[in-house]
A and B are shown apart, each in its own frame.
Chain A
Amino acid sequence: MHKRSLFFAANLLVLIGAIAIAISVGASQIDDLVSGLLHPSANTAASEILWQIRIPRIATALIIGAALGVAGAIAQGATSNPLAEPTILGTSAGAALAVVVGVLANFITIGSVGAMAVATFGALLATLLTFRFATLSRQVSPLNLIIIGLSISATISAVVGILTTAVTRADARSISFWNFGSLALTNSSDILPLFVFTALGISIAITVAAKLDVLSLGDLTAKHLGIDPRRVRLISLVALSLLIGAAVSTVGTIAFLGLAVPHIVRLISGPKHRQLVVQSALLGATVLLVADTLARTIAKPNELNVGLFTALIGAPVLALLVRNRKSSWSQS
Chain B
Amino acid sequence: MISIKSISVARDTNNVIKGFNAEFKAGTVTAIIGPNGCGKSTLLLAMAGDLPIASGEILFNGTEVGKFTALELAKLRSVVLQQPIFYLAFTVHEVMQMARLAGSTPASESQALADLEIRDLTERKVTELSGGEKQRVAIALSLSIDAPVLLLDEPFAAQDVESTERVIKLLQKAAKNGKTIILVAHLPESELGWCDQIIKDF
Contact = CB atoms under 8 A, between A and B. Distances in A.
Nearest to B77: A224
B87 A226 contact: no
Interface of A: 80, 213-214, 216-218, 220-221, 223-228, 270-272, 326-332
Given A223-B50, A228-B70, A218 B85 contact: yes
B71 interface: yes
Interface in B108-148: 125, 127, 138, 141-142, 145
Contacts of A271: 88-90
B81 A329 contact: no
B89 A217 contact: no
Contacts of B74: 223-226
Interface string B49-92: 01000000000000000000011011101110100111111100
B48 interface: yes
A220 B127 contact: no
Instruction: Determine the main DSSP class of B at the interface with A.
Output: mixed
18 contacts: A80-B87, A80-B88, A214-B101, A217-B95, A217-B98, A218-B84, A223-B70, A223-B74, A224-B78, A225-B74, A225-B145, A226-B70, A226-B102, A270-B90, A326-B125, A328-B89, A330-B127, A332-B127
Contacts of B71: 226
A31 to B, nearest CB: 51
Nearest to B104: A225
B10 interface: no
A329 B85 contact: no
Given A224-B78, A224-B79, A226-B102, A272 B94 contact: yes
Contacts of A329: 87-89, 127
Interface in B141-199: 141-142, 145
B26 interface: no
A226 B101 CA distance: 7
B46 interface: no
Contacts of A224: 48, 73-74, 77-79, 102, 142
A217 B79 CA distance: 13
A218 B70 contact: no
Given A80-B88, A216-B88, A272-B90, 7 more contacts: A217-B95, A218-B87, A224-B74, A225-B98, A225-B141, A226-B101, A329-B87
A221 B85 CA distance: 8
Interface in B2-17: none
A153 B49 CA distance: 36
B31 to A, nearest CB: 20
Contact of A227 (B70, B84, B89, B125): B70
In the complex, which of the residues B78, B79, B89 has the most CB atoms of chain A within 10 Å of its own CB atom?
A: B89
A4 B54 CA distance: 50
A327 B78 contact: no
Contacts of A331: 127
A228 B49 CA distance: 13
Contacts of B141: 225
Nearest 7 A/B pairs, CB to CB: A226-B74, A218-B85, A216-B88, A271-B88, A226-B71, A216-B87, A224-B79
B46 to A, nearest CB: 13
A221 B153 CA distance: 13
Contacts of B77: 224
Given A213-B94, A227-B70, A228-B70, A221 B84 contact: yes
B133 to A, nearest CB: 14
A225 B89 contact: no
A109 B77 CA distance: 54
A89 to B, nearest CB: 17
